[in-house]
Amino acid sequence: MAALTTVALLLPPPPAASQTPGAPRCTWATEYNRTLDELGEDRALWRVGDVPDTGWGEASDEGAVVDALVPCRYVADVVRHEHMHLQQVRQFGSGRFAAFVLGADRIEIVADCASLLAGSRYTPYVDSAGGCSERDLRDARQLLRER
Ligand SMILES: [Zn+2]
């Protein structure tokens, strides 16, 4: 249900991995709420739902969705990544204009580099790019400053 002014930004899941034995118990709602609080996000812009296809998160000019099927240990990283897309909307006024300014191919890597700087360990776009360039990091730091 993408409106013409909406740029859908999907965060794909990683390959399946097993739960680490002895790892602290993870509670989905706690991870979700704690991360939104940590980022200072307005919960009215967020919902838990079904992200189309195999995506785990999606952001638009209207807000963000985290797929209910995201494994607990990835919830905080997915929230951080989608938060960075909302920051791009805040910085540029819309996802479409963010894509125009940053380059449509750089929207994801910049969001992922900012998510990495904010503490995420699951950063698939950074992984597939082999890291963040200086330009990516500069744009990512700018996103972190955006309020
Ligand atoms: Zn994304």
Q: What is the pLDDT of residue 11?
A: 73
Measured in angstroms, how far is the CA atom of residue 144 from the centroid of ligand 1?
A: 15
Domain limits at 45? 26-145
Structurally, the chain folds into a number of domains equal to 1
Look at residue 93 and tell me if it is in a domain.
Answer: yes
Whole-prediction pTM: 0.84
Look at residue 20 and tell me if it is in a domain.
Answer: no
CB count in 10 Å sphere of residue 11: 29
Look at residue 6 and tell me if it is in a domain.
Answer: no
pLDDT at 48 over 70: yes
Provide the H-helix boundaries in 3-133: 28-39, 72-92, 95-102, 107-117, 124-129
pLDDT at 17 over 80: no
Mean pLDDT of 89-96: 96
Measured in angstroms, how far is the CA atom of residue 82 from the centroid of ligand 1?
A: 6
Identify which has the larger pLDDT, 14 or 48.
48
Look at residue 7 and tell me if it is in a domain.
Answer: no
Measured in angstroms, how far is the CA atom of residue 22 from the centroid of ligand 1?
A: 31
Q: What residues contact 49, with CB distance under 8 A and at least 6 apart?
A: 65, 66, 67, 68
Measured in angstroms, how far is the CA atom of residue 89 from the centroid of ligand 1?
A: 12
Measured in angstroms, how far is the CA atom of residue 18 from the centroid of ligand 1?
A: 24
Look at residue 43 and tell me if it is in a domain.
Answer: yes
- Look at residues 91, 135, 85 and name the one whose alpha carbon lies nearest to residue 115: 85
Look at residue 5 and tell me if it is in a domain.
Answer: no
Mean pLDDT of 20-42: 90
CB count in 10 Å sphere of residue 3: 10
Measured in angstroms, how far is the CA atom of residue 11 from the centroid of ligand 1?
A: 5
Residue 125 identity (one-letter amino acid): Y
pLDDT at 1 over 50: no
Mean pLDDT of 77-100: 97
CATH assignment of the domain containing 114? 3.30.2010
Look at residue 18 and tell me if it is in a domain.
Answer: no
CA 69 → CA 9, 42, 95, 107, distances in Å? 17, 22, 25, 24
Task: Give the mean pLDDT of the chain.
Answer: 89
Q: What is the pLDDT of residue 6?
A: 45
